[in-house]
Structure 1
Amino acid sequence: MSLPHAHGGPVAEASLKACPEDFQVFECMHVTPEGEGEHLWLEIEKTGWNTEDVAMWLAKAAGIHRLSVGYSGLKDKHAVTRQWFSLHLPGKVDPDFDWPEGVHLMQALRHRRKLNRGTHRANRFVIRATHFCGDADLLEARLDAIAAQGIPNYFGEQRFGRGAGNLVRGKEWLMGGEAPRKKALRSIWLSAVRSDLFNQVLAERVSRGVWNRVLAGDILQPEGSRGLFMADDDAEAAARVISGEVHPTAPMPGVAGMASSGPCRQLEQQILAPSQAVIDGLCREGVDEIRRATRLPVQDLQWSLQQDQEGENTLQVAFRLPAGAFATTVMAELVRSPEPSA
């Protein structure tokens, strides 16, 4: 679906991901390996590899089970990404790896614990948009608005698979169609479906101008926290949302959990009503409803516009986002990218 923009739509045209170096991602870890323990933590820079393929290669090269390899989050294949992995090596020396092309070791340290999913709190992005064509003053004004107000916390299109295939197959399955043949596909399809339902609710809030404003009956989430509380229980809720201290949330549907009320609940039910059969399928699969913030703060935002000898302009943007957020949603507020050729 075409998602409404919060700040008026892109102000320029540019090419994104012309090469892997145009999209760089760096994990921001809050855990520092202690230097001793049964787990070897490896900071790896990869290009042309997805995270799971690196994990499988490490397990084979170290002679350990795949489940003995940990990582915090999934990173793009078609990008230059730096992330941590851990290998459980009790009583074993550090392996002498023969690193394949596209995988580079940055540092190796021992730690007492395995690296689990969701350990890192944020990612730092450096993105180049080549063949930039647009007005620099409009671009600066848009970047200032994003830095001050954030953007809608949409799930990016990569969440839904190529051609939204995971979303389509997930909906068909939940409405009585063919189930995923592989266990790993189950969570991927469920995630795609729930993310789409969240995007639908958020899109309506953006259209109504309340993606960054409190509604009566809202459920709010403090910045940097996973906790939730009812907006109606806080007399200062509206002011705290405007200041960015807390954010409104929208549902990722499943078995009923903490429910909104009043006007907020009415809006959510109105948007989700046509998808009730899919939501019933989510409940049959035992998926619990969770809430996700509707606003995404874009932190440490920096940018530059450079021109090469041929007169081609390149926009470089750097920023930090919390884990689970999508850099493509930031770029969608800035530039429109031509459709890739077949």
Structure 2
Amino acid sequence: MDVAALAHARGAPPPCRGRIRVEPADFRVDEDCAIEHTGSGEHLWCRIEKTGLTTHDAVQAISRRAGVHPRHIGVAGLKDRHAVTRQWLSIAWPVHDPLPDLDDLPGVRIESMVRHERKLKRGAHRGNRFVIRIRDLTGDTAALDEDIRRVAACGVPNYFGAQRFGHGGRNIDLARRLFAGRRLSRNRRGFALSAARSLLFNAVLDARVRDGSWQRLLDGEAVMLDGSHSLFARNETEQAAEALEARLAAFDIHPSGPLPGRSDGDVVSGIAAELESAVLADYPDLTAGLAEAGLDGARRALRLPVRELEWHRDGDALTLSFRLPTGAFATSVLREIVDTAEAGAESADGA
């Protein structure tokens, strides 16, 4: 599945075009990791700013300088190379040892250090704040304000971005080889399984964008609470339809789509289940492979609220700033506003 061909909420690709990531400072990401540090403990937490490096690159550089194995360095999320990003990482570091000298690391600047009792775990951050500059705007730039206001009011389809599938969709090919019996390393197996689930989710969401139901609750909907993975079945709740619609309008709840595996608890039924089954029937090898791999089924919100969205025009450039939760992709927002050409790919957590 070509991510660029997925349906747009606006009904068609944006009439305005532009370029992103012309230089790293055009794409800024600030990780929101609201953890209160204890000020003591065996883990040294560092707030870093990196430029022109992936998070893996930064971890490797700090590992070499500090003499600590990478497995003893924790990060919450993975950030892209083609950006200026700020995030926390933790280093296992004895309490009585002098602080490591991490100055003058190419592409890495240490903003602060603080001790904590625990290692930083993947997914511990709440989300990311983006500031993105889009250059060389052409086309119908008069449509920009209307499209941005619509995104602020309605959110966007919560698609997985192209990075999830690898260059040319290679992670999907990897998944099919895995399901055919090929042995893979732990990391490559994880990439393959994640890509397969993401493709199936995108396919269901694409169908619901095309029929206009991606921001409506269908009969039998598995309803997801905003900011959590908690679900309830629309057909089993005692809440009145009017109350559910009010919560939907307030972004308190969202329709959800499948991340297939062995089972998702059968929380979806009725029309919603029929639609999902019809879409997934086109991918029997992937759905069967995910179930046989032992993954538990899960759900993901179909709708992505774009919080604190602000914008500024400066000649043929547009600057957008907004906040997204963990696991959301910034290009899912951009694709509803500007048809972009970019220099680099997204990070694993959407940055």
Task: Tell me how far 1:68 sits from its aligned partner.
Answer: 1.3
CA distance in 2, matches of 1:301, 1:20: 21
Per-residue displacement from partner, 1:6-44 (whole Å, max 9, x unpaired)?
023313010111121111111012113232221111111
CA distance in 1, matches of 2:174, 2:220: 34
Show structure 1 runs of 5+ residues with no match: 308-312
Does 2:39 match 1:35? Answer: yes
CA distance in 2, matches of 1:163, 1:82: 29
Q: TM-score, normalized by length of structure 1?
A: 0.93
Per-residue displacement from partner, 1:62-108 (whole Å, max 9, x unpaired)?
22232211010111111111111001113333111243211111111
1:3 maps to 6
1:291 partner SS: strand
1:253 maps to 260
1:274 partner SS: coil
Moved over 6 A (4+): none
2:283 partner SS: helix
Figure out how many residues of one structure are paired with residues of the other and give that number. Answer: 333
After the TM superposition, which residues 54-203 of structure 1 pair with which residues of structure 2 at under 5 Å, given as runs?
Answer: 54-91=58-95, 92-174=97-179, 176=180, 178-180=182-184, 182-203=185-206
1:264 maps to 272
Per-residue displacement from partner, 1:194-231 (whole Å, max 9, x unpaired)?
10100000000000101010011111111112211111
2:230 maps to 227
**More divergent stretch after superposition (122-131 vs 64-73):** 64-73
CA distance in 2, matches of 1:23, 1:163: 23
Percent identity between matched residues is: 42
Contact 1:85 1:115 in 2 (8 A): yes
RMSD of Structure 2 on Structure 1 (CA): 1.6
Per-residue displacement from partner, 1:276-302 (whole Å, max 9, x unpaired)?
222111112111111000000000101
Contact 1:212 1:242 in 2 (8 A): no
Q: TM-score, normalized by length of structure 2?
A: 0.91
Letter in 2 for 1:167: I
1:321 partner SS: strand
Show structure 2 runs of 5+ residues with no match: 344-351
CA distance in 2, matches of 1:29, 1:338: 30
Contact 2:14 2:335 in 1 (8 A): yes
Letter in 2 for 1:188: F
